[in-house]
């Protein structure tokens, strides 16, 4: 599928602001940005598919997380954080201030730790991570005053990364795209094209692989999903350019090759993905680990892909084309899988009731 022209590189290192952009270089947008989705419009879940529709009528949702047993969801463009009641109705918990993203920017990933909500969003000229106290009880939750714990991440209309999650070590991991500046992914003085690791207060852990740096791994184009297995191994999904999307096993200090290589290259000094897929079959977004498998939500591919932890080179697929684009998948407190569709963001073909939160029976 032909790609629209990309904008000129916007981001550089650290605190450089979002610059004025124009169409110039054909950098090839990530597969998820295609305005012509594959397959038919999404349809509601049915008993036969083993999927329950939990909630409907969300607008460009991006991330799911749980505060104790209460599901929270973000809407990218409205910057709203919503809580989902047991009957599927939604209620606004709060609006993240200063969100001004366009394209793939906006209110993106969230994570919860010890009663605090952490949110990754695009603001004026930057991406940042903020922490909010969650106050009140389910059905009456609200956000306290925000505190920025990480700022100055390069922003653009695409390749913003945006997934955040707490690892088993209690540290916050943050995926950051190259924001259109391909060379930044190999520049250790830049936080673009990286997976970062910071403490919950924003400080840099002393055992990070590069002294004084938040960088955990580098050479990423647009990493999207992160999750850990019971042994503490970190897995990440990543949007490729035109050739291969990836599933990577992420290790501290690893170089994952972008922009020098895409997919499996077998070149010394670069870590190859354990799986790769053509973008039209994938565009892997959020991921989760449960019951011995990595579960990968796919946007263009419009399917849930399962990769057994004891057989990382193979995968099985579920729900192909049934629900449209899938943005996120998480493990609920009861062990079930919850999926988030993404058909109303301008790149899907929404049906009545989109977008939805779905519960997969039996995980």
161-218 pLDDT, tens digit each: 999 999 999 999 999 999 999 999 999 999 999 999 999 999 999 999 999 999 999 9
Compute the mean pLDDT over every residue in the chain, rounded to the nearest whole number. Answer: 89
Q: Taking 90 as the threshold, does the pLDDT of residue 353 lie above it? A: yes
pLDDT of 90 reads 98
Closest CA to 124 of 17, 272, 232: 17
- Please say whether the beta carbons of 214 and 222 come within 8 A: no
Q: What is the dihedral of CA 125, 181, 253, 315, to 10 degrees?
A: 100
- pLDDT digit string (tens) for 263-298? 999 999 999 999 999 999 999 999 999 999 999 999
Give the model's pLDDT for residue 363. 73
Which of the pair, 355 or 28, is modelled with greater confidence?
A: 355
pTM (two decimals): 0.88
The answer on pLDDT for 15 being more than 50 is: no
At a CB cut-off of 8 Å and minimum separation 6, what does 319 contact? 49, 51, 302, 303, 304, 326
29-41 pLDDT, tens per residue? 333 333 333 344 4
Q: Contact 81/119 with Cβ under 8 angstroms?
A: yes
| pLDDT for the residue numbered 47 | 36
Phi, psi at residue 296, to the nearest 5°?
A: -125, 120
* Residue scoring higher pLDDT (69 or 39): 69
Residue 40, pLDDT score: 43
Predicted confidence (pLDDT) per residue in 110-144, tens digit: 999 999 999 999 998 999 999 999 999 999 999 99
CA 111 – CA 60 distance, rounded (Å):
18
Q: What is the pLDDT of residues 228-267, one digit of tens each?
A: 999 999 999 999 999 999 999 999 999 999 999 999 999 9
pLDDT score at 88: 97
What is the Cα–Cα distance from 177 to 25, expressed in whole angstroms?
18
Could you tell me if 45 and 52 are in contact, meaning their C-beta atoms sit under 8 angstroms apart? Answer: yes
Q: Picking from 13-22, 31-40, 258-267, 338-347, which range would have the lowest pLDDT averaged per residue?
A: 13-22
pLDDT of 19 higher than 60: no
Q: Is beta strand 304-308 parallel, antiparallel or unpaired with respect to 293-298?
A: antiparallel
Respond yes or no on whether the N-terminal peptide bond of residue 355 is cis (omega within 30° of 0): yes
> What's the pLDDT score for residue 37?
38
Q: Residue 30: its pLDDT value, please?
A: 36
């Amino acid at each position: 599928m032909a790609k629209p022209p990309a904008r000129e590189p916007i981001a550089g290192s650290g605190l450089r602001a979002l610059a004025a952009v124009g169409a110039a270089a054909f950098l090839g947008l990530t597969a998820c940005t295609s305005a012509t989705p594959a397959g038919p419009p999404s349809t509601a879940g049915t008993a036969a598919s083993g999927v329950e529709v939990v909630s409907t009528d969300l607008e460009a949702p991006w991330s799911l997380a749980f505060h104790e047993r209460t599901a929270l969801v973000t809407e990218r463009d409205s910057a709203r954080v919503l809580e989902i009641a047991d009957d599927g109705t939604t209620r606004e918990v709060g609006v993240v201030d200063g969100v001004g993203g366009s394209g793939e920017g906006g209110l993106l990933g969230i994570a919860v730790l010890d009663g605090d909500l952490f949110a990754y969003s695009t603001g004026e000229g930057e991406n940042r991570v903020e922490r909010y106290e969650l106050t009140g009880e389910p059905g009456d939750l609200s956000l306290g005053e925000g505190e920025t714990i990480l700022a100055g991440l390069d922003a653009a209309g695409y390749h913003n990364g945006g997934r955040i999650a707490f690892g088993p070590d209690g540290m916050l991991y943050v995926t950051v795209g190259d924001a259109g500046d391909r060379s930044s992914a190999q520049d250790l003085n830049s936080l673009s094209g990286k997976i970062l690791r910071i403490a919950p207060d924003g400080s840099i852990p002393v055992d990070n692989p590069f002294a004084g740096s938040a960088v955990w791994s580098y050479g990423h184009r647009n990493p999207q999903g992160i999750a850990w297995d019971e042994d503490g191994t970190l897995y990440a999904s990543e949007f490729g350019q035109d050739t291969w999307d990836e599933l990577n096993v992420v290790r501290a200090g690893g170089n994952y090759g972008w922009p020098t290589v895409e997919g499996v290259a077998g070149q010394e000094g670069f870590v190859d993905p354990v799986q790769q897929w053509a973008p039209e079959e994938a565009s892997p977004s959020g991921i989760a680990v449960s019951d011995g498998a990595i579960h990968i939500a796919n946007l263009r591919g419009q399917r849930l892909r399962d990769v057994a932890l004891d057989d990382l080179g193979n995968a099985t697929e579920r729900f192909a084309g049934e629900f449209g684009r899938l943005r996120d998948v998480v493990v609920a407190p009861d062990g079930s899988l919850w999926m988030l569709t993404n058909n109303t963001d301008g790149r899907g073909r929404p049906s009545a009731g989109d977008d939805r939160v779905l519960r997969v029976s039996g995980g």
